[in-house]
Amino acid sequence: MITLKEMTTRKEMKQFVTFPFSLYKGNKYWVPPIIKDELDTLDKDKNPAFENAEARFFVAIKNNKIVGRVAAIINRYEVNQQQIKKMRFGWFDVIDDINVTKALLEKVQEIGRENNLEYLEGPVGFSNLDKVGVLIEGFDHIGTMITWYSLPYYKDHLEQLGFVKEKEYLENKFQLSNVDRVYYDKVARIIKHRFKLTSLSFTKTKDIMPYVDEMFDLFSKTYSKLSSYVPISDTQIAYFKNKYIGFINPEFIKFVVDENHKLVAFAIIMPSFSEALQKANGKLFPFGIFHLLKARKKPTVVTSYLIGVSEEYQNKGVTGIIFDQYLKVFDKNRVKTMVRTPELEENTAIHQIWRNFSPVTHKRRRTYRLNL
């Protein structure tokens, strides 16, 4: 018999957050989150995403053990302002028992109908800065700190229950040794001169902070045309600043400004923390923090997190300036491989940006939809 329990207290939420640690125990491809960070992400008093969203958290119990979990999420901005009547689900993990999946998702459907919503989509988070999708290919590749790992039967369960593909995302990687440094050096010089642009590089995090608000404004303008986009508030930006910017090697954040010092392009690349997070196993202390700091300082693999170009400068080679700067930093730091975060299959503009890097698609992930 399968029963559902709504998790509300801090103690219960810790059980919700730690369930995947038992589900994926011994899996060399799963990357665990830091438990405290995950708890804070799901806490309405700490995560400003809850300004526009609400969520309920459920676990499935069988034989007195937790065997599945799911978050039922409503983004009120999406529903009320954008008129997208979507019920979201995320933080979805289950054992290989379709009845567990069925029980959890029927609960989410029930909440959706109670709120007069039209369809269910997931796995997704609160906004575009959250993790997305179940894997449909690439189960034998290590995950990243900003993606969910999932087993092949997740996809099978969803499809057996009548869910259909809503959006597909590609994850690509490439070897930096294959990239033509001379080409990008030449392109950068030409584009800088032609449009009177300047590249900004940093060695101290404090020097980046004055540009972060402008960067997110440009991010919003760049990504607002995508079907998955939900606006990000000022408090969410401040939250992101505090949570992530200080932990990124400042050399891996690049900006391009025009002659009036207005930001026209940006990119954030993060060291890969995957192996460090596996060693930390959910805890920063006593030793987890040292694994993360080592990964931050001397990465051989990096993850492209965000990139954006002002509309008036798109298709004019401005990304060549950013790539030229990155290649110089990567060579200095002996970085060998870059992994790209999930990018919408339909986002042809972003695919074109990376075409000269000979990208290899090593993972695909998908969100699924069910009409209510």
Tens digit of each residue's pLDDT (9 = 90 or more) over 213-232: 898 888 888 776 766 667 77
Which residues of the chain fall short of a pLDDT of 50? none
Based on DSSP, count helices (H) and strands (E) in the chain, helices before strands. Answer: 12, 14
Domain boundary among 151, 171, 191: 171
State if pTM tops 0.85: yes
Asked if residue 180 and residue 152 are part of one domain, the reply reads: no
How confident is the model over 19-45, as pLDDT tens digits?
A: 999 999 999 999 999 999 999 999 999
Same domain? 181 vs 160: no
Is the residue at 348 inside a domain? yes
Domain extent, residue 345, equals 174-361
Cα 294 from Cα 365, distance rounded (Å): 30
The Cα 321–Cα 323 span in angstroms is 6
**Domain closes at, from 171, 201, 223:** 171
- Residues 40, 160, single domain; the answer is yes
Q: Which candidate, 82, 153, 74, 171, places its Cα nearest to that of 121?
A: 74
Q: Is residue 367 part of a domain?
A: no
Residue that is last in its domain, among 139, 171, 203 = 171
pLDDT value at residue 325: 95
- Whether 370 is in a domain gets the answer no
Residue 301 domain-assigned (yes or no): yes
Are the CB atoms for 304 and 267 separated by under 8 Å?
yes
- Domain check: are 209 and 274 in the same one? yes
The pLDDT, as a whole number, for residue 238 is 81
Q: Are residues 238 and 347 in the same domain?
A: yes
Do 185 and 166 have their domain in common? no
162/178 same-domain check:
no
Residue 230 belongs to a domain: yes
The count of structural domains within the chain is 2
Residues 46 and 193 in one domain: no
Q: Residue 148: which CATH number?
A: 3.40.630.30
Calpha distance 27→20 (Å, rounded) = 11
- Residues 149, 284, single domain; the answer is no
Spatial separation of the C-alpha atoms in residues 289 and 341, rounded to whole Å: 23
Distance between CA atoms of 203 and 152, rounded to whole angstroms? 42
Is 371 part of a structural domain of the chain? no
Place of tokens 């008036």: 312
Let me know if 119 is exposed, middle or buried by CB neighbors in 10 A (0-12, 13-18, 19+): middle
Residues 159 and 20 in one domain: yes
pLDDT, position 109: 98
366 is a domain residue: no
Query: In terms of Cα–Cα distance, which of 170, 167, 171, 268 is closest to 226?
Result: 167
What pLDDT is attached to residue 367? 98
Per-residue pLDDT tens for 52-84? 899 999 999 999 999 999 999 999 999 998 899
What radius of gyration, in Å, describes the C-alpha atoms of the chain? 21
Looking at the fold, whether 52 and 136 belong to one and the same domain comes out as yes
Same domain, 121 and 98: yes
368 inside domain: no
